[in-house]
C-alpha cells in the first residue's frame, strides 16, 4: 500500500514454531511456554488462560499470517514485561524465521470470561527500503499514524504515532488530526473491523461497525479542507461468515472522495501499490513507486 512489493513470501508456521526457536525463546525469557499452535486468539486464551495463570507461562501461537503471537494476562505478566518478552522474540526471529510481526496480546478477566485489551503491540520488521511515508517526510510533509500504523511500519516514516482504543477513538483522533496536523498524510487504522468482528466471525458486530463508521463519515468530511483527499480501503479481506477465522476475499474496497469530486469508477485495480503511486502524483514527489496512479481519474 505504501509502495513496496514483497518478492519473497514471509515464513508461516502451520504446525507451530520449530523446537530451536521455542527453546531459544524460553531460554531468553527464563520461562516455559504454552501452546505453540495455530489458533484463534480468543479461543487459545479460553483454552489455556487458566493454565497460564497457574504457571505463569506465556501462551505462544500463530495463524495463517507470518506472526509470532504472545498472550499473557496483565496481572500475571505485566504489560512492560510482556513487551520485553516480545522484544526478545523479535531478536531471534531473523533469517529464515523473519516473521513479519511479533505481537503482544495482553488480556484480562477470569477463567471463562477472558477479554483481550487494547494494550496490544506489534513488533514489526522495518520496511526494507523507503516507503511513500519516507518520501513524504523527506520533502517536509508530516505523517501521522493513528491506531496500529506506527507499529506496522516499525515507526519508520512516521512523525507522530497516536495509540487508540477501538474504532470510535480512532475516528475521533483522525478528526482532531485533520484540524491540527498541517499538510501531509494522516494514516488511520480502524482495528475493530479486523480484531473484533472479522477474525471473530461476528457479522452482526461487523454490521454495527460499518453503521458506526457510516454515521461518523460526515464528521470526517466536514473536517476536511478543500484540497484534502479521503481514501477508504483495507489491507485484506476478513469475511465474518466463513468457517475460518483467517483472511478471505482478498479483494478490498477502494472509495475515494474530496470536495467537488465527480463520480468515477476506478475499476478493479491490479495492486495495493496504486495508492502509493497516487500519493506520489498528488504530492508531486520525485520518487516513483510500483503501481498505477489513479490521480488523473479523480481530478475535477
Q: Predicted confidence band at 300 (pLDDT cuts at 50, 70, 90)?
A: low
* Strand partners of residue 187: 145
Task: Report the alpha-carbon distance of residue 132 to residue 138 in Å, rounded.
Answer: 10
Homologous superfamily of 19-124: Phosphopentomutase (3.30.70.1250)
Pairing verdict, β 101-110 and 67-73: parallel
Cell of 244: 475460518
Same fold, 19-124 and 132-298: no
Enumerate residues 6+ apart whose C-beta is below 8 A from 66.
9, 10, 11, 12, 99, 100, 101
pLDDT of residue 55: 98
Q: What is the pTM of this model?
A: 0.85
Cα 290 to Cα 3, 142, 194: the distances in Å are 6, 22, 27
Enumerate residues 6+ apart whose C-beta is below 8 A from 218.
none
CATH architecture type of domain 132-298:
3-Layer(aba) Sandwich (3.40)
Q: What residues does each domain of the chain span?
A: 19-124, 132-298
Q: Predicted confidence band at 18 (pLDDT cuts at 50, 70, 90)?
A: very high
Give percent of the chain above pLDDT 90.
77
Task: Note the pLDDT tens digit of each residue in 51-81.
Answer: 999 999 999 999 988 999 999 999 999 999 9
Task: Report the alpha-carbon distance of residue 135 to residue 46 in Å, rounded.
Answer: 44
Task: Note the pLDDT tens digit of each residue in 114-173.
Answer: 999 999 999 999 999 999 999 999 999 999 999 999 999 999 999 999 999 999 999 999
pLDDT of residue 199: 67
Task: Note the pLDDT tens digit of each residue in 76-128.
Answer: 999 999 999 999 999 999 999 999 999 999 999 999 999 999 999 999 999 99
Task: Note the pLDDT tens digit of each residue in 239-276.
Answer: 777 777 677 766 789 999 998 776 778 999 999 999 99
pLDDT of residue 244: 72
Contacts 24+ apart (CB under 8 A), 123-126: 123/86, 123/87, 123/89, 123/90, 123/151, 123/154, 124/100, 124/151, 124/152, 124/153, 124/154, 125/98, 125/99, 125/100, 125/101, 125/154, 126/153, 126/154, 126/156
Cβ–Cβ < 8 Å for 66, 99? yes
On average, the pLDDT of the chain sits at 92
Amino acid at each position: 500500500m505504501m509502495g513496496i512489493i514483497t518478492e519473497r513470501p514471509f515464513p508461516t508456521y502451520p504446525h507451530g514454531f520449530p523446537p530451536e526457536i521455542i527453546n531459544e525463546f524460553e531460554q531468553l525469557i527464563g520461562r516455559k511456554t504454552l501452546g505453540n499452535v495455530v489458533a484463534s486468539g480468543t479461543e487459545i486464551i479460553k483454552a489455556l488462560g487458566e493454565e497460564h495463570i497457574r504457571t505463569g507461562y506465556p501462551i505462544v501461537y500463530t495463524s495463517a499470517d507470518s506472526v509470532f503471537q504472545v498472550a499473557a494476562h496483565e496481572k500475571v505478566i505485566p504489560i512492560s514485561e510482556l513487551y520485553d518478552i516480545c522484544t526478545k522474540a523479535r531478536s531471534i526471529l531473523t533469517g529464515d524465521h523473519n516473521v513479519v510481526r511479533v505481537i503482544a496480546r495482553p488480556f484480562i478477566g477470569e477463567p471463562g470470561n477472558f477479554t483481550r485489551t487494547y494494550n496490544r503491540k506489534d513488533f514489526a520488521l522495518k520496511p526494507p527500503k523507503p516507503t511513500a511515508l519516507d518520501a513524504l517526510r523527506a520533502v517536509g510533509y508530516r505523517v501521522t499514524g493513528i491506531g496500529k500504523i506506527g507499529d506496522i511500519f516499525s515507526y519508520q516514516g512516521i512523525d507522530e504515532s497516536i495509540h487508540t482504543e477501538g474504532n470510535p477513538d480512532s475516528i475521533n483522533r483522525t478528526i482532531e488530526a485533520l484540524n491540527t496536523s498541517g499538510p501531509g498524510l494522516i494514516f488511520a487504522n480502524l482495528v475493530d473491523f479486523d480484531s473484533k468482528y472479522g477474525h471473530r466471525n461476528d457479522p452482526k458486530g461487523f454490521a454495527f461497525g460499518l453503521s458506526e463508521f457510516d454515521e461518523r463519515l460526515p464528521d470526517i468530511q466536514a473536517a476536511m479542507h478543500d484540497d484534502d483527499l479521503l481514501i477508504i480501503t483495507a489491507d485484506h479481506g476478513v469475511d465474518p461468515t466463513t468457517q475460518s477465522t483467517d483472511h478471505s476475499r482478498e479483494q478490498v474496497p477502494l472509495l475515494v472522495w474530496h470536495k467537488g469530486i465527480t463520480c468515477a469508477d476506478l475499476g478493479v485495480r491490479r495492486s495495493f501499490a496504486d495508492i502509493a503511486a497516487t500519493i506520489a502524483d498528488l504530492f508531486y514527489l520525485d520518487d516513483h513507486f510500483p503501481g498505477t496512479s489513479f490521480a488523473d481519474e479523480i481530478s475535477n
